[in-house]
Amino acid sequence: MQWSLYLLILMGQCCFFTCRLYEYHFIKENKRWYEAQRYCREKYTDLAKVFDMTDMSRLRNSTQNQGEAWIGLNNNTGGNRTWHWSLPGVEYIQNDSSWNLNGRETWEHPGNCGRKRYKEGDKKLADVSCDEAFYFICHDEMKKDNKTLHLIQNPTLNWTQAQNYCRSYYTDLVSGLDQVDGEEYEAVIKGLTSPFSIWVGLFRDSWRWSDGSDFSFRYWDMELFNDTQSNKTCAMTLLNRSGKWSSDECDKEKPFFCYDDNLILVEENKTWEEAFYYCRENYSDLVSITNSDEQDWIQEKVKEANSPYVWLGLRYTCTLGFWFWVTDEVVKYKNWGPDVTTDGCDMSGAMNVGSPHKWSKQADNKMFNFICSKK
Ligand SMILES: *[C@@H]1O[C@H](CO)[C@@H](O)[C@H](O)[C@H]1NC(C)=O
Ligand SMILES: *[C@@H]1O[C@H](CO)[C@@H](O)[C@H](O)[C@H]1NC(C)=O
Ligand SMILES: *[C@@H]1O[C@H](CO)[C@@H](O)[C@H](O)[C@H]1NC(C)=O
Ligand SMILES: *[C@@H]1O[C@H](CO)[C@@H](O)[C@H](O)[C@H]1NC(C)=O
Ligand SMILES: *[C@@H]1O[C@H](CO)[C@@H](O)[C@H](O)[C@H]1NC(C)=O
Ligand SMILES: *[C@@H]1O[C@H](CO)[C@@H](O)[C@H](O)[C@H]1NC(C)=O
Ligand SMILES: *[C@@H]1O[C@H](CO)[C@@H](O)[C@H](O)[C@H]1NC(C)=O
Ligand SMILES: *[C@@H]1O[C@H](CO)[C@@H](O)[C@H](O)[C@H]1NC(C)=O
Ligand SMILES: *[C@@H]1O[C@H](CO)[C@@H](O)[C@H](O)[C@H]1NC(C)=O
Ligand SMILES: *[C@@H]1O[C@H](CO)[C@@H](O)[C@H](O)[C@H]1NC(C)=O
Ligand SMILES: *[C@@H]1O[C@H](CO)[C@@H](O)[C@H](O)[C@H]1NC(C)=O
């Protein structure tokens, strides 16, 4: 690497905890939902979307206001429901061989929540009414007691209650086929006598985010929200009910939240060095990823890329023999894919556009799209 480039990298502003990937803006003016959407798209990126509980807390913290405010979620899909995994960041991918569409008892009705039934060799997913009470399995990111999965048999709960329980005591309901079809799952249910049913973190709804992203996080206030009130098709946060959500008629005028994206996907193919200069001149820097939340957010962005990989601000120093971020951060959080390319001079890091969006070591004269951060 040229020394001039090396020096420039070292001069980069460090942003550690100060830069965020996106920011919320509370707009005090009362507007109808679609007017609010237009306003946000003009002045910022779009109406606010919410990825997880941390986002929800940031959204609440960004205003002193109490009362109702629009967020960027609405139900204008004509009732086209799609499946989601409850745990933020786990993408739902349809796999017919995981489902048994006849896997219901005669008295059970089809529904919008997913469970696994164990009966006479059947152990596949089936959709049933969310009102039923079953055992359930929680996923624990913190691995308390060295376990990721926890079976809850007592009490048995309906799906919404089970989700609440898991979010209160662990992280969320067990999510993704890796977890649901995995070894630890099998180990956790080993002692149970079939037939039995277990809730997993699958639900389907017809709500979509204004900017088209596929975030699965929902925070409905079940005391107020009714998913069959067909003329209340826009979502709001109730700031005086700890930010929980309900829905209202889109013509009502309310204050609202916009979000502003601090990341730009540049859909042009450039070498790593060209991309680096482009970001430094026009924005702030090539993007760095220091934790799994950032990884999740950037995953969402790379889906729109038109190259197979997307450059990150990740660089190998040949002289010193290690990888570093151009924002001067140490590479602590890692998400390398299984490709066997060894480290080497003139290598840079890129994210695979295909799921599960692992990082890959690529020769830096290859031409890919890239992501810049704004501040
Ligand atoms: C929101 O504010 C509360 C109380 O001031 C604080 O404890 C919490 O960490 C803040 N959340 C975020 C995401 O900044
Ligand atoms: C919350 O605010 C809304 C709108 O300002 C109001 O109608 C409602 O009564 C409030 N609810 C509570 C529990 O304070
Ligand atoms: C339903 O929504 C999904 C995902 O948004 C889309 O792929 C599908 O085409 C839609 N189906 C109908 C009938 O609109
Ligand atoms: C679907 O799931 C089965 C097992 O449940 C697995 O063997 C298969 O690889 C999966 N297919 C895809 C496309 O992921
Ligand atoms: C789950 O149970 C609670 C408490 O019994 C009830 O209020 C709620 O409506 C139920 N939710 C569903 C989706 O069945
Ligand atoms: C968890 O596992 C680690 C390493 O496998 C071990 O050192 C530790 O004692 C275990 N902790 C508990 C609470 O079992
Ligand atoms: C969402 O839209 C569908 C189809 O129009 C409708 O059946 C459902 O009741 C709507 N839900 C709400 C909360 O408006
Ligand atoms: C939800 O709204 C529908 C239509 O307005 C109504 O029939 C139903 O009883 C409501 N459900 C609840 C739990 O309030
Ligand atoms: C929506 O439905 C409620 C109750 O069914 C009704 O009072 C209200 O006038 C309706 N609003 C619109 C805009 O149709
Ligand atoms: C900054 O962006 C403009 C186009 O938006 C581009 O022409 C220019 O080359 C960029 N700067 C660098 C250093 O790449
Ligand atoms: C970027 O390169 C990919 C192939 O790697 C190509 O499919 C795509 O069209 C290129 N994009 C542009 C904007 O030239």
CATH number at residue 350: 3.10.100.10
Give residue for tokens 């002692």.
191
Task: Name the most confidently modeled range: 22-26, 68-72, 115-119, 280-284.
Answer: 68-72
C-alpha count within 13 angstroms, C-beta hemisphere, residue 348: 27
Shortest CA distance to 284 belongs to which of 347, 329, 326?
326
Distance CA 34, CA 117 (A): 42
Pocket of ligand 8 (CB under 6 A): 226, 228-229
Nearest CA to ligand 5 atom 10: 131
Q: Does the Cβ of 76 fall within 6 Å of ligand 3?
A: no
Any idea which of 76-80, 158-162, 291-295, 353-357 has the lowest mean pLDDT? 291-295
- pLDDT digits 0-9 by tens, 123-177: 899 999 999 999 999 999 888 888 899 999 999 999 999 999 999 999 999 999 9
Same structural domain, 120 and 216: no
Encode pLDDT of 33-79 as tens digits.
Answer: 999 999 999 999 999 999 888 889 989 998 888 999 999 999 988 88
% of the chain exceeding 90 in pLDDT: 61
Let me know the angle formed at the C-alpha of 356 by 351 and 358, rounded to the nearest 5 degrees. 35
Same domain, 125 and 53: no
Residue 298 has pLDDT above 60, yes or no: yes
**φ, ψ (nearest 5 deg) of residue 34:** -70, -30
Kindly identify the ligand whose nearest atom is closest to the C-alpha of 144. Answer: 6
CA of 306 from ligand 11 middle (Å) equals: 6
Ligand 11: which residue has its CA nearest to atom 6?
Answer: 307
The domain total for the chain is: 3
The whole-number pLDDT of residue 9 equals 52
111 and 160 share one domain? yes
Work out the mean pLDDT of the chain and round it to a whole number.
89
Examine the domain organization and report whether 253 and 238 are in the same domain. Answer: yes
Cα distance between residue 144 and residue 315, in whole Å: 35
Is 161 near ligand 5, meaning CB less than 6 Å away? yes
Q: What is the pLDDT of residue 252?
A: 97
Regarding the beta carbon of 307 and ligand 11, being less than 6 Å apart is answered yes
Query: Same domain, yes or no, for 246 and 337?
Result: no
Looking at the structure, tell me whether residues 293 and 255 fall in a common domain: no
Q: Torsions phi, psi of 252, nearest 5?
A: -70, 145
Pocket test residue of 93, 97, 100 for ligand 4, highest count of atoms within 8 A of CB: 97
Ligand 5 atom closest to Cα of 131? 14
The CA radius of gyration of the chain, in Å to the nearest whole number, is 23
pLDDT band at 338, cuts 50/70/90?
confident
343 and 199 assigned to the same domain:
no
Indicate if the pLDDT at residue 12 is higher than 70: no
Is residue 152 classed as helix, strand or coil in its secondary structure?
strand
199 and 87 in a single domain? The answer is yes
Residues in the ligand 2 pocket, defined by CB under 6 Å: 67-68, 240-241
Question: Per-residue confidence at 16, pLDDT binned at 50, 70, 90?
Answer: very low
Of 205, 230, 246, the position where a domain reaches its end is 205
Residues 217-261 pLDDT 10s:
999 998 899 888 889 999 999 999 999 999 999 999 999 999 998
Tell me which residue range forms the domain holding 66: 22-80+206-260
The tens digit of pLDDT for each residue in 264-273 reads: 899 999 999 9
Which are the contacts of 245, defined by CB distance < 8 A and separation ≥ 6?
71, 73, 218, 219, 220, 221, 225, 235, 236, 237, 238
195 shares a domain with 100:
yes
State which of 180, 205, 230 marks the end of a domain.
Answer: 205
Helix ranges (DSSP H) in 256-354: 272-282, 292-302
Q: DSSP for 104-143?
A: S-TT----SEEEEEEBTTB--EEEE-TT--EEEEEE-TT-
> Residue 247 and residue 290: Cα distance in Å, rounded?
35
The residue whose two tokens read 């002045």 is 43
- Return the pLDDT at 2: 54
Q: Report how far ligand 10's centroid is from the alpha carbon of 7 (Å).
A: 21
Q: Whose alpha carbon is nearest atom 12 of ligand 1?
A: 58
Q: Are residues 280 and 308 in the same domain?
A: yes
List the single range of 189-203, 232-246, 328-342 with lowest mean pLDDT: 328-342
Give yes or no: residues 185 and 36 share one domain: no
Q: 12 and 59 share a domain?
A: no
